Amino acid sequence: MPVLALGCYIVCSIRHHQRVPGWLGWLMLVWGLFLVTTLPVSPGWAIPISGVLVVLGDRRRRRCTRRTSHIR
């Protein structure tokens, strides 16, 4: 259930052209690593991967906004 709520939040924020916060990616990463260590034979490997992608996307978007803010 929490993964569904996080997914809905991420999709909604992307559709409104808002940034997904990096702390959400770190939260998914830590939660996923805990899940994978407790249940190693589960499809829980997708959660840490998703968390890493959210963190990387947030960093890339921050870099782009910093570059464009100096140009204006």
pLDDT in tens, 36-66: 999 988 888 899 999 999 999 888 777 776 6
- Quote the pTM value: 0.74
**Nearest Cα to 35, choosing from 51, 47, 26?**
47
pLDDT band at 71; cut points 50, 70, 90: low
Is a pLDDT exceeding 70 seen at residue 20? yes
Domain ranges for the chain: 2-71
The Cα–Cα gap between 70 and 72 comes to 6
pLDDT at residue 52 in the model: 92
pLDDT band at 34; cut points 50, 70, 90: very high
Q: What angle do CA 61, 64, 70 make, to 5 degrees?
A: 140
Q: Are 21 and 49 in contact (CB under 8 A)?
A: no
Cα distances from 22 to residues 32, 39, 57, in angstroms, run 15, 25, 8
